[in-house]
Amino acid sequence: MHTVSRTMYDHFSRIATGYNELRTTDLEPVLFIKNTLKHLKQIKAADIGCGAGRYDLLFFKYLNNLNLTCIDINQSMLKETMNYLKSNGITHFKIMKSEGNDIPLKNGSQDCIFTFNVIHHFNFVRFIENAARVIKKAGYIFIYTRLRSQNARNIWGRYFPLFLEKEKRLFQRNKIETIINSTGTLTIESFKKFKYKRSSSLKQLLYRALNRHYSTFSLYSNAELEDSARNFQKNIMSTFSNPDNVEWFDENILFLLRHKRV
């Protein structure tokens, strides 16, 4: 298990100012959470690994009377979150710099914990233990992530050389379940898979890769990335009839965790 490396910290610092525009934000898991929490008139929550706040704005839009703590290890990302939420008229939030594993909040203080597309950067065992500690007895933990098998089926996993060899941080579902069950205090109440149709031009895809818009590309050397990009272009040109409209599916999964009922 690992904490955020210097390579990853520098990567997120570099892309922080444009992060919300670079990444796709999925509404569907937020609507699932909205439906799950609709009975709560007020919600005290923490978003662990909040990044630049793109999901936090959706939480405020769809959840009832939300009081949110936005936690991230990267100071540049936290600055973006603060500016992003304030520019959208949001004031009921706090910013906290911390490793995602640690969650420096009081025991039993949160109605729920969110973490979106970031558990592969955590020491997952420590994160789960601390998330269980800080939620109330009737609280919720929502984990939105991509499984390793799902990653293998997207545009990068299928056509970008070395992508799967480089990206070893993602979990499979059975590993996530094993870690959660090992806590002895949490259970997976449900999980939901999501599948999204995406499209982009080859030019835009190459731009994202060569500018290392996704953290996986920061694991390549310069020579590896350039060579892989050339072969990616060949793979796309030979597979898709229109390089200006490349279509594929992205997949994610959302886990809902709660304390075991005694």
pLDDT in tens, 80-111: 999 999 999 998 899 999 998 899 999 999 99
- Any domain includes 206: no
- Any domain includes 72: yes
- Any domain includes 223: no
- Any domain includes 192: yes
| Confidence label for 24 from pLDDT (cuts 50, 70 and 90) | confident
Can you give the CATH number for the domain in which 62 is found?
A: 3.40.50.150
Packing angle between helix 75-87 and helix 6-15, nearest 10 degrees?
30
Range of the domain at 102: 6-150+169-198+251-259
Token pair in block for residue 262: 């005694």
- Any domain includes 236: no
What is the value of pTM for the model shown? Answer: 0.93
Strands annotated E in 14-163: 43-48, 66-72, 93-97, 110-116, 135-145
Pairing of strands 93-97, 66-72: parallel
pLDDT value for 262: 62
Decide if 48 contacts 118 (C-beta within 8 A). yes
pLDDT value for 97: 96
Strands annotated E in the chain: 43-48, 66-72, 93-97, 110-116, 135-145, 186-200, 246-259
- Any domain includes 204: no
pLDDT value for 2: 43
pLDDT digits (tens, 9 = 90+) for 162-183: 999 999 999 999 999 999 999 8
For the chain, what is the mean pLDDT? 93
Token pair in block for residue 241: 């009839």
* Residue written as token pair 């909205």: 34
The number of distinct structural domains making up the chain is 1
Look at residue 174 and give its three-state secondary structure. helix
- Any domain includes 85: yes
pLDDT value for 15: 67
